[in-house]
Amino acid sequence: MTKHYALSAEARERAGKGVARALRREAKIPAVVYGDSKDAESISLPVKEVTLEYHKGHMFTNLCDLEINGKKQLVLARDVQVHPVNDQVQHVDFMRVTPKTTITVNVPVHFLNEENCPGIKTNKGSLTIVRHDVELVCKATDIPEHIEIDLMPYDIGEPIKLSAAKLPAGVKAAGDGKRDITVATIAAPRMLLEEEDALNAEKAAAAAEAEAAAAAAAPAEGDAAKEGDKK
């Protein structure tokens, strides 16, 4: 079941940049609540509490018990605008949800047994993460906090696919299900890669020298043939 946190808000009638600036001077954040076939509501939230929840990193996967002027609604943050310099939250979009609401949401990927992975422990490779989170489809009340992939079966060069994760019941990968995305790989040790690059460079240089020698020899052979004809 999706985890919850709580916020208290106040309804506001006016909107616009001027109103937003005035709210921020009062240590409040403008926000909007929409969805569930109801009219959108403009609200304001206390900046301290919202910023704290945002930096915990769970606002997009945890449900919020939002109280507006004493009336509670179940919502999920769908967009958060932050200040480009101080990372303070500037605006939040919340969507109303119910147990019947199906959504697409980005969920973090956690990797297990990295220290015992054969490609890392035995062959000195390193984990290269391609996607830190993946897009899943599920009920709003059943959003997993994260998904897990066990690294024990993997060696160097093997792609680690989303299908390796055990998804909770009722949760599936976004899309048509035909494409199994790569979320990570086990990269070879840097020294081994450098040796391989050096060997490839030597082979390329040797091939270039052989080609140049063959090209230089061709005119000489042609001139010798002509000289033989004259005799």
DSSP state letter for 89: E
Q: Three-state SS for 183?
A: strand
- Tens of pLDDT, residue by residue over 189-224, are 864 555 556 667 767 777 777 777 777 776 655 555
CB 29 within 8 A of CB 94: no
The whole model's pTM is what? 0.73
Cα angle at 24 between 63 and 36, to 5 degrees?
Answer: 30
Which sequence spans correspond to the domains of the chain?
A: 4-97, 103-190
Q: Does the CA dihedral 9-11-15-18 come out positive or negative?
A: negative
Q: What's the CATH fold of domain 4-97? A: Ribosomal Protein L25; Chain P (2.40.240)
CB 76 within 8 A of CB 65: no
* Out of 12-26, 83-97, 184-198, least confident range: 184-198
User: Which is more confidently placed, 65 or 23?
Assistant: 65
Q: Three-state SS for 27?
A: coil
For domain 103-190, the CATH architecture is Beta Complex (2.170)
Q: Does the CA dihedral 181-177-143-72 come out positive or negative?
A: positive
CB 102 within 8 A of CB 138: yes
- Tens of pLDDT, residue by residue over 42-81, are 999 999 999 999 999 999 999 999 999 989 999 999 999 9
* Assigned token pair, 24: 């921020």
